[in-house]
Amino acid sequence: MPATQHADRAYLNPGDIGLTKRGKKISVLIVDDEFADRKLMTQILRSFGFEIIGEAENGKTALDLYCKKKPRIIILDMLMPGMSGLAVLRSIKFDNPHALVIMCTSVDDKATVGKLLEAGAVDYIVKPIDRSIIFEKMSKLVVRYESMI
């Protein structure tokens, strides 16, 4: 099977991107008010080898899980009832400026993306969820994560 090259890592198997160079699974928290999107993201990330340490359907639950579990990566929906994804992002970044948060959004305009990146998101994913885009974004994020540890 040919290797897939991403940044400075080669993956023989897509199921390897969720592992550190030492073979440890990287923990992820998934936050989305849409059940189907949460389950799809969970399925995709598990197939890439990530450890899903929790799922949240709203901002309050997301912050509770974040504080209890301290995931390495957070996948966070922007538009949720109650506490917005942007408010959750700001809370997480206040707690940990080095937190790796990827925002998920159905809104794809420069002003919105600019706000998310300015607030501390490391990247964003435009819905609908696409497996190949998730692979690309998470591959790059793992390289960044490994430079931090």
**Per-residue pLDDT tens over the stretch 115-141:** 999 999 999 999 999 999 999 999 989
- Residue 51's domain is classified under what CATH number? 3.40.50.2300
Q: Is residue 53 part of a domain?
A: yes
Q: Which amino acid is at 127?
A: K
Q: Is the pLDDT of residue 9 over 70?
A: no
**Cβ–Cβ < 8 Å for 129, 44:** yes
Q: pLDDT per residue over 19-65, tens digit each? A: 888 889 999 999 999 999 999 999 999 999 999 999 999 999 999 99
C-alpha 11/C-alpha 143 separation (Å) is 12
Q: Which amino acid is at 117?
A: L
pLDDT of residue 12: 46
Q: Is the pLDDT of residue 6 over 60?
A: no
Q: Is the pLDDT of residue 1 over 50?
A: no
C-alpha 45/C-alpha 52 separation (Å) is 8
Range of the structural domain that residue 77 is part of: 24-148
Q: Is residue 43 part of a domain?
A: yes
Provide the sign of the torsion angle of the four alpha carbons 16, 139, 85, 81, taken in this order: negative
Least confident stretch, 2-16, 39-53, 93-107: 2-16
In this structure, the number of other CB atoms found within 10 A of the CB of residue 125 comes to: 20
Q: Which pTM value belongs to this model?
A: 0.89
Task: Summarize the chain as % helix, strand, coil (round to 5).
Answer: 45, 25, 35
**Cβ–Cβ < 8 Å for 9, 135:** no
pLDDT of residue 62: 97
